[in-house]
Structure 1
Amino acid sequence: MTIGLLILSLVAQPVWWFGLIYEWWTADRRIKRERRAFGSAVYSDKFEVRHFVLLSLFWGLVMSVVSFAVGMTVPIGWWVCYSVFALIAIIFGLGSRLPITIFVGTVVLYDWFDKASFSHPVMALLRQLGFSRQPVKIAVLIMLLSAVLFLLSRWLKKTGGRFASPKIFAQKRGKLIAGYPFNELLVVPTLVLIPGDFISAHLAFWPVLSLGGTHVTPLFLPILLGLHLTIFKQNPRMAFKRLAKSFLVLSILVLIGGIVALLSQPAAWIILGLAYVGYIGCLLKTRWHDRRQSFWYSKVDHGVRVLGIKPETPAAKMDIQVGDIITTCNQQPVHSETSFYEALLSDPTYCHLKIQTPEGDLKVTETAIFDGSPHEIGIVMFKD
């Protein structure tokens, strides 16, 4: 019965469902953008939705087991505040941009409201409804923040840049360039403990646990993860892996800071501030490193730039990377999309390419292609 009620509270969680709807909408926009720019979708499946469902539930299970094992307790005021702000951010399309800002901001807002003089009548009313006034140390929320940063790191390492979907931009001089945006979010439902028995006071069947002589209520906290970042001058996969490594280091430092804050309450706010500055610093460092590179995914005159490779096509089996420049196809020089496909038609069942890498190295690759369907080779390039 208890497990069934907890599962019901997970299924009925609005933040998760709104996140799913937003990811479906994000995938639709990406597919339409790819079709406008390249004539067909680079990735026709909604991989954003697949990531959201599978990774949200997987990491939610892992986080819930860990949280329940350590007895992670969060105040009801912050739980409500965080859930509401996360929902609002998703509705207004800001969920992937502000996940850590929402976490830190709601901690500050909760503590300010808890200490404000006008909050006392409100808290008195809430106590009558069964809400506990038992304080929860900010250090506990800092340690939860370290877990959120760890999840963000592992998520980026697994998915960041894995599906390199190009977006066409125009520079000031009119030259076309491509960028690789990452715009995904996750809602990780994590089981936490809330001091008090406010739910069971009105719903007698709701589970209440006893922890150290204190009544606590298990509830799912919808932890919001997300990132909105466009890479212009690097291999997207490598850029997001470096960012993931930075977040991993930051999560370890924040965890150490949370342990220190348990021992010294005045240090908690300094550590929380430094954690947020560190998060912003990781993002700025990634942007700065990207901007200072000399390479661009730009249109070239001496060949055709590879902007993407469609999965399960002949190109996916060839030694081709995003950013490569195809100089010849079937022994014929190419300089545009049209000349590339004309060269393919010279031998409609075979493709032999000479390629120049972004580093200036030369390589040769070849494969059989679909008979009579050269346009299905799977190489995405600038349209003429």
Structure 2
Amino acid sequence: MRVWIMTIGLLILSLVAQPVWWFGLIREWWTADRRIQRERQNFGSAVYADKYEVRHFVLMSLAFGLIVSIVSFVVGMTVPITWWVCYTLLALIMIMIGLGSRLPITIFVGSVVLYDWFKHSHLSQQIMGSMQPLNFSGRTVSTANLVILLAIVLFMLGVWLKRVGGRFASPKIFAQKRGKLIAGYPFNELLVVPALVLVPGNLISTHFAFWPVLSIGGTSVTPLFLPLLFGLNLTIFKQNPKAAFQRLAKGFRILGILVLVGGILSFFAKSAVLIVLGLAYVCYVGCLIKTRWHDRRQSFWFSKVDHGVRVLGIKPETPAAKMDVQVGDIITNCNGQAVSSETNFYEALLLDPTYCHLKIQTPEGDLKVTETAIFDGAPHEIGIVMFKD
């Protein structure tokens, strides 16, 4: 019992010492600070004052890490130590230069291609031979294992995006060529999931006798945390951002299932590994291109209008959050007064400082009416975000 407690403690310690996870956390903190500063500059106050990116990173990385680790141990996921080192270094470098959220799948696929090339090169035999005295296992691990791991990453990427994509629609103001202002909804979050995997050999325990070593099928393997990158950097201009990210999330989940099938088949046809890997990457890029294309072909823009005020965001825990008001709606009338600017809107709110009655036109052209009580004498706290005058 004491041995198992020590083993779990050591694994947790190795998780805490993960540099990729800590750099990812710092990066998310910086991203949240930039977003809040941008919101204050564009709208006078932050739409979302809390650093929700940091909260997502901490809570979801640990939750997803537990799930992926359990799945990994159940299926006995074994990865080569050379690929583990390559992927970890690439992930760390990309986070440090700010590309972690843009290239998570590219980093994964690229590292697998590098490993496959290295495995079949003369350089591999020389390096692995020289490291045998260090108990560096030269046992070949099937690349199909990495395809299976990619399938898990793609599926979990879809689950993560379904959970957080568009949930916090933070608008960003852009100027078109003719100076017309429009709003876009950027999603720029990163997640580092510490997944427990097995690597052949007992390299670590050779130098640190207390490190746990397992035996599977008569082969020694060492459990290590692999920092899996999840991320997306995409801006939506012409759709409801939550709906757009939900569709993309569904595409990733379906792709993950298809890649899983291809990975299983790759165990029986080893020559198909790189084909499945290449097709998976092409389909992943295709999902992103399709989302951008679908967004660009819409006629709707989150732009200023002359016959009302455009709703760009809803602040949480405000009266507006309780009303039937959605991002993209146009408020045409407030408390019986026609409105066409932010100033008009707040002047109309002052006509009844404790209640708000709105007439709204949806992006589809439908009309609706909604009302709610507001904070007495504080109309600016209604929580509706719109273009500044």
TM-score range, shorter chain: over 0.9
* One-letter amino acid matched to 2:241: P
Match of 2:19 in 1: 14
Partner of 2:181: 176
What is residue 134 of structure 2 aligned with on the other side? 129
Aligned counterpart, 1:240: 245
Q: Distance in 1 between matches of 2:123 and 2:223?
A: 29
Query: What is the CA-CA distance between 1:320 and the residue it aligns to?
Result: 0.1
Counterparts of 1:1-384 in structure 2 under 5 Å?
A: 1-384=6-389
SS in 1 for 2:98: coil
Greater shift in the superposed pair: 121-130 or 68-77: 121-130
| Partner Cα separation in structure 1 for residue 126 and residue 151 of structure 2 | 34
Report Cα offsets for 1:96-148 as digits up to 9, x if no partner.
00000000000001111222223332222222221111111111100100000
**Structure 1 unaligned spans of 5+:** none
Could you say what secondary structure the match of 2:306 adopts? coil
CA distance in 2, matches of 1:135, 1:363: 65
Alpha-carbon distance in 1 for matches of 2:134, 2:243: 52
1:15 CA drift (Å):
0.5
Read off the aligned partner of 1:32 and give its amino acid letter: Q
How many angstroms apart in 2 are the aligned matches of 1:57 and 1:227? 19
Using the alignment, how far apart are the partners of 1:357 and 1:112 within structure 2?
55
Map Cα deviations across residues 338-380 of structure 1 (whole Å, 9 max, x no partner).
1111111111111110000000000011111111110000000
| 2:3 paired residue number | none
**Identity level (%):** 76
**Whole-angstrom CA distance in 1 between matches of 2:73 and 2:95:** 27
Amino acid at match of 2:135: G
Matched residues, number? 384
Which letter maps to 1:334?
V
Structure 1 residue identity aligned to 2:64: W
Q: Could you tell me how far apart the structure 2 residues matched to 1:116 and 1:253 are?
A: 30
TM-superposed deviation, 1:319: 0.5
User: In the alignment, residue 74 of structure 2 is paired with which amino acid?
Assistant: A
Quick one: which amino acid aligns to residue 228 of structure 1? N
Give the 3-state SS of the residue equivalent to 1:6 in structure 2.
Answer: helix
